[in-house]
Amino acid sequence: LSKLPIIEAVGDYVKENNSLFCTPGHKGGAGFMSSLSEGFVSDILKYDITEVEGLDNLQNPEGVIKTSQELLSKLYGSEESFFLVNGSTSGNFIMIFSSFNEGDKILIERNCHKSVYNAVIMRKLEPVFIKNTYSERYNAPLSIDRSHFSDILKNQKDIKGAVITYPNYYGVCCDLEGIISECREANVKVLVDSAHGAHFGINKGLPESAVRLGADMVVMSAHKTLPSLTQTAYLHVGKAADLEKIRFYYNSFMSTSPSYLFLCSLEYSRFYLETKGNEDYRRLLETAKRYRDRINGLEHVHVVGREDIDYEIDATRYILNVEKGYSGHLLLDYLRKRGAQAEMSDGSNVILILSPFNGEEDFERLLASLRECDFEELKADMQEAVSYGIPSLKMLPHEAIDAGKESISFLEAEGKVCGESIVPYPPGVPFLMPGEEINKKHIEIIQYFIDNGVKVLGINENKHIVIIRNGCAEVNRG
Amino acid sequence: LSKLPIIEAVGDYVKENNSLFCTPGHKGGAGFMSSLSEGFVSDILKYDITEVEGLDNLQNPEGVIKTSQELLSKLYGSEESFFLVNGSTSGNFIMIFSSFNEGDKILIERNCHKSVYNAVIMRKLEPVFIKNTYSERYNAPLSIDRSHFSDILKNQKDIKGAVITYPNYYGVCCDLEGIISECREANVKVLVDSAHGAHFGINKGLPESAVRLGADMVVMSAHKTLPSLTQTAYLHVGKAADLEKIRFYYNSFMSTSPSYLFLCSLEYSRFYLETKGNEDYRRLLETAKRYRDRINGLEHVHVVGREDIDYEIDATRYILNVEKGYSGHLLLDYLRKRGAQAEMSDGSNVILILSPFNGEEDFERLLASLRECDFEELKADMQEAVSYGIPSLKMLPHEAIDAGKESISFLEAEGKVCGESIVPYPPGVPFLMPGEEINKKHIEIIQYFIDNGVKVLGINENKHIVIIRNGCAEVNRG
């Protein structure tokens, strides 16, 4: 039995020396190898310091951290910006807790990140779900259903805010500008989970940043696309934000012993964008386009572009779509065997995150792997990943969390009320929330996930699911 | 204007090449320099990976993370143990949220950590404060007032739990065994903030670990005393814990993109304790004793030991007490100038955190600095840091958070109700909570902190304090 199982497993993975088409954006350290970060890179363990005189205090910055956050704010054009050392997760919690009060009714995307769901539960909000649109052709979620969104906004006058994902995990962008303008008129706050959009706006070939589009608050993972360490993120707030509340929740959802490695890398990635971002992303977009065209010359596989769908898309991300009858999950496994680590897969697609620190050799390796792929090996019954619909809400999510519960085989859960979030991971989008009724279709999909090796949080190793004991009355909703 | 203010400031600090008597416990990387961690140390940026196949998932561990957490649990003797990547802060929130329901009345120490206060506010608990005892001789907080604790437990039958700090920032230990046994009888849960006690119990010369003493839940900072990166911690839970609730709050208070650098170092420090802890701490205790005796041969300064006070104490921490008339804060500054970085200071004391990775040369430097110190330079009016008492609670803390507020000069705040936590940092112990009345003594103490360069969270750069607008009625308390 190994005494250092994690360190050894990571060591083995590092030795595979894969081309990294996944987070973090620094791609195994390549993003830090500029002369500007030499001390930080060569002496990194020495940089892991505590808050001493002259090094400021993240919870109440008055010195170098304050200055650095001001530079961040200036680059993105926010009213104020904050470093986050507990990921976009903490940013989503801070946004939601500081913007809404208990009982507030808010619009959220059915395909939002798990942390948004958890924050809705803890803040005791009433979620109104916006449907997602799906591409039948690519068997993938596209964006929010704009007419459904407008209908809710028109018909429910007590909506306090909306939490929008921009872009989604696939790099697909909703019409955020239009959404913000519609929400402004209805006096509805717009909070944006832009975990995958920290690089937006740095070059004109990229979608515009959520901050520039005028969102009230925006969270961005720094590590997902920029050269920053994993678990780092930015929070940007606009003029209307309640800074005192933000400060309270900021200090609650983040460690009082913040990592200076994280702070240094958050500073570094802002500096990187400022000094090299425009040119590096121009080059990346050009390379991405070039290899996309070559991949699209192959059979069975296609990189989805903005001309294929009705939405703007981040061209520094590949949605590698496989023909019907083949499996995205099996393609991800195949690429890993060939030394290309993708970010995630669904039934029909593999998502690759590109960064300026992916070299030409990474793209060559990807292209060669796809060219040499025996697609016969990737054949599988394809599950329609599309539109689970919005399940029936039997209890408010936070009530379900505190209700009496029991655990049963998920195969026997039809008609029961779900007691926990059920989240296939990645992408970490819950498909059942506490308080929602489990139907036959849900059971089939869970079975499909398990059969295809997708991790499903909320389903334990005995394939049990937590349900509300004794059922419960339907929520009386306006 | 610097474009990389944080990186440059940390770089300058690293170049000072101080003897590190502060957190983190790895002391500038020295703690990692074993052959066992070679790959991790030399390739550290490559180890910053995302959750890929084979590397498990922190939010639902089934592989190497699960195994590693089981090894952690076994070492400490818990029912179950968890890695925390958002510091003891997240651990305190998880403990408090999973153990109590809204409105519950709980006992907390007046000198508990800020994160405990914040969790009490967010969980909407009713805090009943336990007084602290102070040493007049050393002008330092010692422990909780045991008779006050017992009185409350006897007279208030609706107490649901107690949050105990063990040890405190000074290394002073309360009678945790007695407290746990008293709470067991009263059916009161005991949660322990053992941020500074991760090394306890590894050698018989150290106090016993809070887990072995039978606490219901225990949080330990791994980075404070062990060779682990800053912002890492452990959560240990006992048999009675509600694992489903813990899992929900665990997944809410921590990033869904956890740092593998943190996970690797959390695993490494457990392994270190297991294989070398007993012997290394035996040696450290011996060294600490030897230099303590030599320091105690000097004038004006004294390392407080367990024979000086009525409490058990962690002998791997120096409470460097200066004679009345001299300033602890000025001594900390002096030591920094002489190349010895202490952890924190109060009016009369400097706290040094020792670890097995402090070499003989660190102790020699400390001793020489103290021997050569011109104590005339450290003379200052001494502020009694002792017993602020328990302020009068005018509103429950969570009500105060949501009340209308304004900001005024702290000098004019006498009789007003505080709207925010006021926290001198370090040690991060709030001395006024939202909802408490500000009196003349508080104003004097805030002035003293400012005059002595102690950072006070809640007092802004214009020396303003946030108060409740229009005052408020006194809380009607049972």
Per-residue pLDDT tens for A343-361?
A: 999 889 999 999 999 999 9
Average pLDDT value for residue range A110-116: 89
Q: How much is the CA Rg of chain A, to the nearest whole Å?
A: 22
**Which pLDDT tens digit goes with each residue over A19-32?**
999 999 999 999 99
Please, which pLDDT band fits residue A141 given cuts at 50, 70 and 90?
confident
* Interface touch A255/B466, C-beta < 8 Å: no
CB contact under 8 A, B9 and A64: yes
E strand map for A305-422: 312-313, 317-322, 340-342, 344-345, 349-353, 405-409
Residue among B55, B60, B343 whose CB faces A10 most closely: B55
Kindly determine whether residue B47 and residue A221, on different chains, have CB atoms separated by under 8 Å.
no
Q: How distant is the Cα of A14 from the closest Cα of chain B, in angstroms?
A: 7
The residues in B 287-306 lying below 8 A from A, measured between CB atoms, are none
Within 8 A of B251 by CB-CB distance, chain A residues are 114, 118, 457
Q: What is the pLDDT of residue A9?
A: 96
Q: How confident is the model at residue B34 (pLDDT cuts 50, 70, 90)?
A: confident
Contact A167, A190 (CB under 8 A): no
Taking CB atoms and an 8 Å limit, are B57 and A425 in contact across chains?
A: yes
In chain A, % helix, strand, coil (3-state, to 5) comes to 35, 20, 45
- State residue A477's pLDDT score: 42
- Cβ proximity of B171 and B314 under 8 Å: yes
As a whole number of angstroms, the distance between CA B397 and CA B374 comes to 46
DSSP, res A432:
B
**pLDDT at position A310:** 87
Name A390's Cβ contacts closer than 8 Å, sequence gap at least 6: A110, A129, A131
Residue A149: in which H helix or E strand, if any?
helix A146-155
Minimal Cα–Cα distance from B262 to chain A, Å? 10
Nearest to A11 among B39, B455, B461 (CB): B39
pLDDT (average), residues A275-302 = 98
Average pLDDT of the residues in A90-116: 94
Tokens of A294: 């070559």
- Check pLDDT > 60 for residue B321: yes
Which residue in chain A is spatially nearest to B406 when comparing CA positions? A244
Percentage of chain A exceeding pLDDT 70: 95
Tell me the H-state helices in B50-86.
64-76
**pLDDT given at position A471:** 60
- Chain A residues in contact with B221 (beta carbon < 8 A): 257
The shortest C-alpha distance from B110 to chain A (Å) reads: 18
The sign of the CA dihedral B363, B364, B367, B370 is negative
Beta carbons of B455 and A57 less than 8 Å apart: yes
DSSP lists the bridge partners of residue B144 as B132
> Which residue of chain A comes nearest to B60, CA vs CA?
A457
Judge: A7–B37 Cβ closer than 8 Å, yes or no.
yes
Span A293-310, pLDDT tens digits: 999 999 999 999 999 998
How much helix, strand and coil, in percent to the nearest 5, is found in chain B?
35, 20, 45
Name which of A14, A90, A119 is nearest B43 (Cβ-Cβ): A14
pLDDT of residue A346: 86
If you search the block for the tokens 């720094």, which residue do you land on? Answer: A222
B467 contact residues in A (CB cutoff 8 A) = none
Q: What is the pTM of this model?
A: 0.94
Neighbour-count burial for A20-41, b at 16+ CB within 10 Å, e otherwise: bbbbbbbbbbbbbeeebbebbb
Before A207, cis peptide (omega within 30)?
Answer: no
Stretch among A146-150, A241-245, A408-412, B198-202 having the lowest mean pLDDT: A241-245
Other Cβ atoms less than 10 A from the Cβ of B147: the count is 10
Question: Given this model, what pLDDT does residue B385 score?
Answer: 58
Rounded Cα gap, residues A137 and A15, in angstroms: 38
Interchain contact B408–A (C-beta under 8 A): no
Residue A244 to residue B466, Cβ atoms within 8 A: yes
Put simply, the answer to whether A22 touches B50 (Cβ < 8 Å) is yes
Of B13, B41, B85, nearest to A231 by CB-CB distance is B85
Contact (CB<8Å) A68/B115: no
**Cβ separation B230–A260 shorter than 8 A:** yes
SS3 for A160?
Answer: strand
Q: Which amino acid is at A261?
A: L
Answer yes or no: is pLDDT of A428 > 60.
yes
| Cα–Cα distance, B457 to A188 (Å, whole number) | 32
Q: Which residues of A touch B230 (CB under 8 A)?
A: 48-50, 257-261
Among chain B residues, CA nearest to A41: B45
- A44 contacts in chain B (CB < 8 Å): 44-45
**A-interface mutation test, from B14, B86, B226, most A Cβ less than 10 A away:** B86
Q: CA separation (Å) from A3 to B53, B274, B280?
A: 20, 10, 19
Reply yes or no on whether the pLDDT at B96 is more than 90.
yes
The set of residues, in sequence order, having a beta carbon less than 8 Å from that of B355 and lying 6+ positions away, is B25, B26, B27, B31, B225, B226, B227, B284, B316
Residue with tokens 């939405």, as numbered in its chain: A311
**A340/B contact by beta carbon, under 8 A:** no
Alpha helices in B206-309 (DSSP H): 222-225, 243-253, 260-272, 278-295
Q: What is the pLDDT of residue B166?
A: 97
Show the tokens assigned to B469.
């607008």
Distance (Å) of CA B365 to CA B250, B339, B361, B370: 42, 8, 6, 9
Residue whose tokens read 């070398």: B276
Nearest-angstrom CA–CA distance, B351 and B353: 7
Residues B231, A358, A141, CA angle at the centre, nearest 5°?
Answer: 80
Q: Do A256 and B115 touch (CB under 8 A)?
A: yes
Q: What is the pLDDT of residue A476?
A: 43
Q: Distance (Å, rounded) from C-alpha A352 to C-alpha A319?
A: 7
Nearest CA in chain A to B31: A45
B35: buried, middle or exposed (CB in 10 Å: 19+, 13-18, 0-12)? exposed
Partner B contacted by A239 (CB < 8 A)? no
Contact assessment for residue A72 and residue A270, using Cβ atoms and an 8 Å cutoff: yes
* Residue of B252, B274, B331 to mutate, interface with A, max A Cβ within 10 Å: B252
Is A420 in contact with A458 (CB distance < 8 Å)? Answer: yes
The interface pTM score, or ipTM, of the predicted complex is: 0.94
Lowest-confidence segment of A164-168, A411-415, B4-8, B403-407 by average pLDDT: B403-407
Q: Rounded distance, CA B200 to CA B191, Å?
A: 17
A196: chain B residues, CB-CB within 8 Å: none
Q: What is the pLDDT of residue A407?
A: 93
Q: What is the pLDDT of residue B426?
A: 60
Integer CA distances (angstroms), A116 to A88, A150, A185, A190, A220, in order: 10, 21, 24, 14, 14
The H or E element that residue B172 is part of is strand B172-173
- CB-nearest to A68 from B5, B119, B466 is B5
Which of B89, B119, B257 minimises the CB distance to A230?
B257
For range B161-185, the mean pLDDT: 97
The predicted model gives B223-230 an average pLDDT of: 98
Q: Is the pLDDT of residue A478 over 60?
A: no
Distance CA B212, CA A126 (A): 43
Q: For residue B333, give the chain A residue with the closest CA.
A: A53
The answer to whether A264 contacts B88, with C-beta atoms less than 8 Å apart, is: no
CB within 8 Å of A281: residues ≥ 6 apart: A199, A202, A203, A205, A206, A316, A356
User: Is the pLDDT at A387 greater than 90, yes or no?
Assistant: no
Q: From CA A130, how far away is CA A157, in angstroms rounded?
A: 15
H or E segment to which residue B189 belongs? strand B189-193
Written as six digits, the tokens of A12 are: 């083995």
Token representation of residue B314:
């962690």
8 Å CB contact of A261 and B55: no
- In chain A, what residues touch B401 (CB-CB under 8 Å)? 245, 248
Cβ pair A39:B11 closer than 8 A: yes
Contacts of A279 (CB under 8 A, 6+ apart): none
For an interface test with B, give the residue of A48, A82, A273, A333 to mutate (most B CBs within 10 A): A48
CA atoms of A295 and A320, how far apart (whole Å): 9
| Phi, psi of A457, rounded to the nearest 5 degrees | -65, 135
How close is the nearest chain A Cα to the Cα of B253, in Å?
A: 6
Residue A313 reports pLDDT greater than 90: yes
A390 min Cα distance to partner chain B (Å): 22
- Chain B residues touching residue A54 (CB < 8 angstroms): 9, 12-13
Question: Rounded to whole angstroms, how far apart are CA atoms B434 and B466?
Answer: 9
Give residue B478's pLDDT band: very low, low, confident or very high (50, 70, 90).
Answer: very low
Chain A residues with beta carbon closer than 8 angstroms to that of B462? none
Residue B477 pairs in a beta bridge with none
A119 touches chain B (CB under 8 A): yes
Which residues of chain B lie closer than 8 angstroms to A62, CB-CB? 455, 461
Segment 33-52 of chain A within 8 Å of chain B by CB: 36-37, 39-41, 43-50, 52
* Residues of B with Cβ-Cβ distance to A90 under 8 angstroms: 86, 255
Query: Which of B252, B343, B405 lies at the smallest CB-CB distance from A118?
Result: B252
Which whole number is the average pLDDT over B418-436? Answer: 82
Q: Kindly tell me if the per-residue pLDDT of B473 is higher than 60.
A: no
**Residues A166-223 pLDDT 10s:** 999 999 999 999 999 999 999 999 999 999 999 999 999 999 999 999 999 999 999 9
A19 touching chain B per CB within 8 A:
no
Q: Name the minimum distance, in Å, from the CA of A49 to any CA of chain B.
A: 7
